[in-house]
Amino acid sequence: MKPLLSKTTKPFIIYVLIVLAVSIPVYYFVVDTIWQSELDEHNQIVVEKTAYEFNQLKLSDAELEKSLELWNHIQPETSIEKISADHIKGDRMYTTEKHLPFISEQKKERYRALEKVIYIQDKPYLFTIQTNIEESHETIAVIAMITTFFFIMIVIGLLYLNRRLSKSIWKPFRDTLDQLKTFNLNSQNKIVFPPSDISEFEELNQSLSKLIDRNISVYKTQKEFTENASHELQTPLAIIKNKLDLLLQDQNLTERQYRIAEDINKALTRSSRINKNLLLLAKIDNHQFDNSETISFDQMLHQSIDILEEHFEQKNITVEKSIMSDIKVNGNSSLTEIMINNLIINAIRHTSPEGSISIQLSDSVFEISNSGTQQLDGELLFKRFSKLSADSNGSGLGLSIIQEICKFHHWTVSYQFEKGHHIFSVRL
């Protein structure tokens, strides 16, 4: 993840770089166009001034011919040629390239040329003038270097200012974030955010304070309900169960009455189990468990297998174990034990007699697989009270509890069906 500063700075730098890259050829064409326009104006002035000066000399035809010959000889970039009246045409401006014979380097240079008809002593002459414009490349290079220099200065200054400003501007936000990181709903301590002169941060702090106060109030209410339900519901259920046990021991019950009482006892037992599981889910949702214990996962798994050994024997289930030793995890031991027991009991319940169960544990994965015939519905698998089999003894909450316990520990539980085996995997 990247900080907000880099998210805003990077696009800006890219944008400036693109503008810079586009500006260099634009600079070139603009400067080159301006340069050519200035040269055209310069050439026009030279032509008109030359024609004016020749006319002012009042030379004879012979003197004029000698003067023009001398002019063409000492002015290599210009030429004045006499033309007939039939060849008179409009002014022509163009750019050309040529090699200078008096320069040893084999390179061509650009020239801006003008061809214009002038009149000297009322006779038409074609005046051609060429002016070197090679300097425009050097001008463009200098402009590009200066632009690049200022771009680098802008980027460096932007990064420096953003870092300096972010430390002061974003300090209230970071203080708020640090307090939220250390906030624990179980402690129910209210957070007092530091005041800020930035309206957005002050509004954020006020909204967070109201939200935290509401959450604390709701948490207290839910916790009180959980505690009251745990006491008030379990007590009458236990009394009813005891009374039913006494009733079932009465010798005067008819067979029909005994069956009715037995059905009531089964339903009551299941109701008590559902109530305990719902209370457990409520406590997990309310974060009423500590997760700072160091748990020996392998030892806890061996203990659960030993306790449930009788259930394996009743259905004559073959158990294959591959458990690594010294596997330590951080979490809550009570919830971890419930998760292990629920997974094993779920495998036992859904394994046919003479079936097989495989239990594997590595440093990163806890896996239980049991033989089966049909794949379970993955969408309903971890939903509360979803019935994936005809077995009515379960509460419909076992897999939901497993999923919530995994979320509490930041573990991941998954299901897959391969080669006739249901496989539940928990990534630690």
Burial 25-50 (b: 16+ CB within 10 A, else e): eebbeeebeebbeebbeebeebbeeb
Report residue 239 CA to chain centroid gap.
57
Strands (DSSP E) contained in 232-327 are 293-296, 318-323
* Residue 234: burial class (beta carbons within 10 Å; 0-12, 13-18, 19+): middle
Q: What is the value of pTM for the model shown?
A: 0.49
Rg, C-alpha atoms of the chain: 47
Range 200-285 classified under CATH 2.30.30 = no
Dihedral sign (CA 333, 336, 338, 344) = negative
Q: What is the pLDDT of residue 390?
A: 47
Q: What is the pLDDT of residue 187?
A: 67
Residues 176-204 pLDDT 10s? 888 888 877 766 677 888 787 788 888 88
List the chain domain ranges. 4-156, 200-285, 293-427
Fold (CATH) for 4-156: Beta-Lactamase (3.30.450)
User: Contact, 311 vs 348, CB < 8 A?
Assistant: yes
User: What is the percent of the chain with per-residue pLDDT over 70, rounded to a whole number?
Assistant: 90
Residue ranges, the chain, pLDDT below 70: 1-7, 100-107, 134-137, 139-140, 186-188, 227, 230-231, 378, 384-396
Would you give the DSSP letter of residue 193? Answer: P
Residue 219 CA to residue 231 CA, distance in Å, equals 18
Architecture category of domain 293-427 in CATH? 2-Layer Sandwich (3.30)
Q: Establish whether domains 4-156 and 200-285 are of one fold.
A: no
Q: How far is CA 25 from CA 19, 147, 255, in A?
A: 11, 12, 103
Report residue 232 CA to chain centroid gap.
49
Residue 4 CA to residue 108 CA, distance in Å, equals 53
Q: What is the pLDDT of residue 1?
A: 58
Residue 293 CA to residue 250 CA, distance in Å, equals 48
Q: What is the pLDDT of residue 261?
A: 85
